[in-house]
Structure 1
């Protein structure tokens, strides 16, 4: 099995034209000044990358995921790109700039895959927004709403272009959707990178949690909003009992939005891949991989009982 320490991974997402590439350039300058090798994944909806060459003037390596949306059309390329930046280019940190069409929740799903998570650890989701009229039912409206919901850092950009009353209304609409993220108000994406990249201080962190979103600001209550996604990694120290696991699959809570992982059954030599994405049924499929992944299952959802889900899953171990 491959042994490596996951490197920090950041997601930049948000509205089309909100200033994501401008912020990316500021982050790259910061990492370069610290002597870090930054790898960049650029996702652009067109077949040709426009912003990638700009980032390439500073970054150690830029990989373009052009020609589709990273949350669907080029999702497999995302995992491949992360692996290449870590293994071939020895990046110290990776940042993904999503197209304005990409659903951040789907991107999070991709980078929390157990196979990919051995290489890169999702540190933060940074969303850039600017106050433009958006139809909530349109693709842009949906993506913006998802970016707000998933963000750890909300950067409200282009303040210099709007009158105070309009800006305050815009800000209130954003914080109402996610009162737990830090909020930055700026123009030209002028945010101090060292402050933006400061690690999130989590209250009483559970060891099984590898991704948490919407950590409260110091002045806010410590209670987590029910709509903020939590990804819980349950590591499996041994093979599973087939009968008990099939029973566990029937008890998945309705708050669970995604589950995935790898393991083996006690009476079968094949590596198994587990996938669950409602409203579809959970599936178990034999799989052959080049590298043996960690045996674990990742649970992603909102408001579910983490401890109960973990305990019930661990009861499926053959030697439990």
Structure 2
């Protein structure tokens, strides 16, 4: 079964994400591809969903951002789409308050191993607002930087409201934050599919290290254990992990118990939850500059 491509559309409220989505869907339909959309709204009522025509499968996550309680719901929505439709690609339009890593995290659930292929994280930047960003709170400025930093493609939108020198200055600033990202200048979020679909894609293969071209900032490594591992050795491994590993999630079993555990790790905190169903013992690592050889060696040694 072929993997379904996933594209994450990130950016602040008002940057033009819904206009971007409309442009993308029009082109995808002209190409005859089967597309689905997940929209994430902060309020209890979705306004933007009117942008998606009735013949495109749409799931909505309301009253929250993907980064907190919505994450499990997003996984469930994706699972539902995959079982219900034959798709070529899924587009996730995030709320302006969402962090790209959190959204990617939900897409990389071990449940989706080999079912989803992460395409690109596309961040839309409101040109005039970014130019005047010093007026934003420190927290919002930091989030905006993070959205740019983790993007594979950055669209600097509404450039018609900026002078040539302002455009050049903002592009330079964006390239400093995300040197490997592709930066495009847009009006009305007008972009060609090829502008981001040709960005290198994450290929995830069972039992193998993930192959990722150097353009993609957030990398993954998928490791499947053949049996239970030693708990203390695993805890020691977590303490030696580089801080550029942001998330670990998946299922593990330990030699000291017959249970299977759902394991999640973020910001240095491990969490173990007993899993009543026997799941494949697979962990997904998300981070930057992952040393696949080191991870494979360390994780394999836990079984000996």
- TM-score between the two structures when normalised by the length of structure 2: 0.87
- Alpha-carbon distance, 1:117 to partner: 4.2
Aligned residues: 297
Match of 1:115 in 2: 111
- Alpha-carbon distance, 1:293 to partner: 4.4
Q: Deviations over 1:224-271 (max 9, x none)?
A: xxxx43322122233324454344334333333221221333564322
Which region of structure 1 is more displaced relative to structure 2, 5-14 or 193-202?
Answer: 193-202
Give, in whole Å, the separation in 2 of the partners of 1:279 and 1:137.
Answer: 27
Which region of structure 1 is more displaced relative to structure 2, 300-309 or 165-174?
Answer: 300-309
- Alpha-carbon distance, 1:185 to partner: 1.1
Which region of structure 1 is more displaced relative to structure 2, 7-16 or 232-241?
Answer: 232-241
- Alpha-carbon distance, 1:42 to partner: 0.7
Q: Where in structure 2 are there 5+ consecutive unaligned residues?
A: none
Give, in whole Å, the separation in 1 of the partners of 2:105 and 2:249.
Answer: 9
Match of 1:220 in 2: none
Alignment of 1:24-39 (within 5 A): 24-39=21-36
In terms of fraction of residues, the more helix-rich structure is: 2
Alignment of 1:172-251 (within 5 A): 172-200=172-200, 207-209=208-210, 214-215=215-216, 228-251=217-240
Match of 2:285 in 1: 299
Match of 2:276 in 1: 288
RMSD: 2.6
Give, in whole Å, the separation in 2 of the partners of 1:147 and 1:211.
Answer: 20
Q: Where in structure 1 are there 5+ consecutive unaligned residues?
A: 216-227
- Alpha-carbon distance, 1:6 to partner: 3.2
- Alpha-carbon distance, 1:161 to partner: 1.5
Q: What SS is found at the alignment partner of 1:209?
A: coil
Give, in whole Å, the separation in 2 of the partners of 1:210 and 1:87.
Answer: 26
Distance of aligned partners of 1:164 and 1:54 in 2 relative to their CA distance in 1, 3 Å threshold: same
Give, in whole Å, the separation in 2 of the partners of 1:277 and 1:251.
Answer: 14
The answer to whether the 8 Å contact 1:100/1:140 transfers is no
The answer to whether the 8 Å contact 2:159/2:186 transfers is yes
Q: What SS is found at the alignment partner of 2:133?
A: coil
Q: What SS is found at the alignment partner of 1:165?
A: helix
Match of 2:302 in 1: 316
Give, in whole Å, the separation in 2 of the partners of 1:17 and 1:275.
Answer: 33
Q: What SS is found at the alignment partner of 1:297?
A: strand
The answer to whether the 8 Å contact 2:201/2:212 transfers is no
Distance of aligned partners of 1:76 and 1:36 in 2 relative to their CA distance in 1, 3 Å threshold: same
- TM-score between the two structures when normalised by the length of structure 1: 0.83
Give, in whole Å, the separation in 2 of the partners of 1:117 and 1:134.
Answer: 39
Matched, 1:262 2:263: no
Distance of aligned partners of 1:64 and 1:213 in 2 relative to their CA distance in 1, 3 Å threshold: farther
Matched, 1:157 2:157: yes
- Alpha-carbon distance, 1:301 to partner: 2.6
Q: What SS is found at the alignment partner of 2:240?
A: coil
Give, in whole Å, the separation in 2 of the partners of 1:213 and 1:87.
Answer: 32
The answer to whether the 8 Å contact 1:37/1:93 transfers is yes
